[in-house]
Amino acid sequence: MIQQNLNKFSIEKALQSALFQGLIRNEDTAVIFYDLAFLAARISNLAANFPQNTLHGLAIKANPLARIMEFVRTIARNTGVEAASAGEVNMALKAGYRPNQVVFDSPVKTRADLVFALGAGVHLNIDNLSELERVSELTLTGSSTLTGSVGLRINPQIGLGTILESSVAGDYSKFGIPIKYQRKELEHACITYPWLTGVHLHVGSQGCDVSLLTEGIGVLYDFVLEMNEKRKKTGIPLINVFDIGGGLPISYKSETTPPSMEEYVKSILNRAPKLFDPEEFQLITEFGRWSYTNSGWTVSRVEYVKHDPSIKTAMIHVGADLFVRECLNPRDWQHEYTVFDRNGNLKHGVDTLPYNLAGPLCFSGDFVAKGVLLPEIEEGDFIAIHDTGGYTFSMWSRYNSRQTPRVLGYQGDRFQMLKERESLEELQRFWE
Ligand code: LLP
């Protein structure tokens, strides 16, 4: 079993160490941290739970930092990346991934994207029947030589998780080919194209429990076994690449226990026993949130504290620029928050009034959290927002043109710069 969350004591230790080493300068109103040893433990746990020939395509959309991509690449031999755009494919190649470690998923690939992907040797997941037609044309006309492998994203239509915006396997979805509605077309594709050797699904992100995720895999597994019987008869290569997507939920609250990777794997094996046989399948996984989120945290200085009759408001330096979904959909997205004094000492107790944590942006929904019980907060304190290693900085918004924070990685008390605070010149350039 691995550690689920970083606790406030280990955050205190790292914060004090960073302050002591002068790594949080005056202008660093907020800093993003990564515990790299924690991240490494996650990745090893992932690798240990799957067959050796599995390609773990960590979702870049959860964390596109080049230094993190490079770090992860060096930890386990079978890590790769899942790229959601041509830009992400390019970033992965720049970070040193080989093309056959890159999985390219996007529901809106242009012809140029497809020509590039087919020639570059990445694993391409086709999203829809029109894209399939384009790929077939490109390979038939010889405009592209297929150097990688190709899979088809299928929507297993097994239902939604608890978070609507990140559930994608309902009866309707903008992603993939719906298996109930377009089964004939899917079957036709599987017996027609010998180069179509993979299937792909992704059920949703957070909010989907193990049974829903497993059932999605099960639906595709049954389909693949049936299609492979047909392919055997016609002598075309069998479907042997099975991409199970990501989606395993994590805990954003230390008191809740999320499912473990061990539990998920056990459940998959029950439903789809041959899936882990390396003679039959090469598995691909695309875990983003599970891999990254719990290893990161963010601190902001408290600039002011405002007093109202029944609530206090801590004015901090990150809002909907860094925490887009927390501000826009607070019902589904909350974190743990810890208060430290200006020297990085943990503050204790609970203040008489609850706190709103307000960001610096110009709109009234710019609250990272509302009504939380915290120790008494003063100007100059630090507030740590836990579990920000995935889908946080990657969703940065340019609204109000704030500079992106310094990003530091650490192992024990050794720190390294993962990304410097954005300069005013870099910020200016974005808008020019
Ligand atoms: N594969 C595909 C095709 C995906 O669309 C995603 C996430 C993943 C893998 C990774 O899923 P994970 O293991 O990270 O759950 N913006 C949202 C997150 C959306 C996730 C989108 N797709 C958020 O606010 O957190």
pLDDT of 78 above 90: no
Calculate how far, in angstroms, residue 161's C-alpha sits from the geometric centre of ligand 1: 13
Calculate how far, in angstroms, residue 350's C-alpha sits from the geometric centre of ligand 1: 35
Give the DSSP letter string of 262-299. Answer: HHHHHHHHHH-GGGG-TTT-EEEE--SHHHHGGGEEEE
Calculate how far, in angstroms, residue 18's C-alpha sits from the geometric centre of ligand 1: 31
Q: What angle do CA 227, 172, 285 make, to 5 degrees?
A: 55
> For residue 420, what is the DSSP state?
P
Q: What angle do CA 136, 274, 169 make, to 5 degrees?
A: 55
- Percent of the chain having pLDDT more than 70? 100
Calculate how far, in angstroms, residue 97's C-alpha sits from the geometric centre of ligand 1: 20
Across the chain, what does the average pLDDT equal?
Answer: 96
Residues 244, 200 share a domain: yes
Q: What angle do CA 41, 45, 48 make, to 5 degrees?
A: 135
Residues 197, 182 share a domain: yes
Strands 55-59 and 79-83: parallel
pLDDT of 142 above 80: no
Residues 261, 349 share a domain: no
Greatest alpha-carbon pair distance for the chain in Å reads 76
The pLDDT tens digits of the residues spanning 218-257 come to 999 999 999 999 999 999 999 999 999 999 999 999 888 9
Residues 410, 400 share a domain: yes
| Residue 254: predicted pLDDT | 85
Residues 196, 306 share a domain: no
Calculate how far, in angstroms, residue 164's C-alpha sits from the geometric centre of ligand 1: 13
pLDDT of 1 above 80: no
- Number of H-type helices and E-type strands within the chain: 12, 18
Atom of ligand 1 nearest to the CA of 168: 5
- Percent of the chain having pLDDT more than 90? 95
Atom of ligand 1 nearest to the CA of 166: 19
Task: Please name the amino acid found at residue 149.
Answer: S
- Calpha distance 336→346 (Å, rounded): 14
Residues 317, 181 share a domain: no
| Residue 62: predicted pLDDT | 98
| Mean of pLDDT values over 80-106 | 97
58 in Cβ contact with 72 (< 8 Å)? yes
Out of 47-56, 139-148, 199-208, 381-390, pick the least confident.
139-148
> Which residues does 30 contact at the CB level (< 8 Å), separation at least 6?
298, 299, 300, 301, 316, 317, 318, 322, 405
Classify residue 1: in a domain, yes or no: no
| Confidence at 318, pLDDT banded by 50, 70, 90 | very high
Please report, in angstroms and rounded to a whole number, the separation of the first and last CA atoms in the chain.
49
Total domains, the chain:
2
Classify residue 399: in a domain, yes or no: yes
Of the residues 293, 311, 346, the one at which a domain ends: 293
Atom of ligand 1 nearest to the CA of 324: 24
| Residue 273: predicted pLDDT | 95
State the pTM of this model. Answer: 0.97
| Residue 310: predicted pLDDT | 98
In which domain, by residue range, is 264 found? 37-293
Q: What's 56's domain CATH number?
A: 3.20.20.10
Top mutation candidate among 61, 160, 244 for ligand 1, by most atoms within 8 Å of CB: 61
Of the residues 272, 293, 314, the one at which a domain ends: 293
Using CB distances shorter than 6 Å, the residues near ligand 1 are: 59, 62, 82, 105, 166, 202, 205, 245-247, 286-290, 325, 391
User: Half-sphere exposure of residue 193, counting CA atoms within 13 Å on the CB side?
Assistant: 27
- Calpha distance 210→199 (Å, rounded): 20
Calculate how far, in angstroms, residue 205's C-alpha sits from the geometric centre of ligand 1: 5
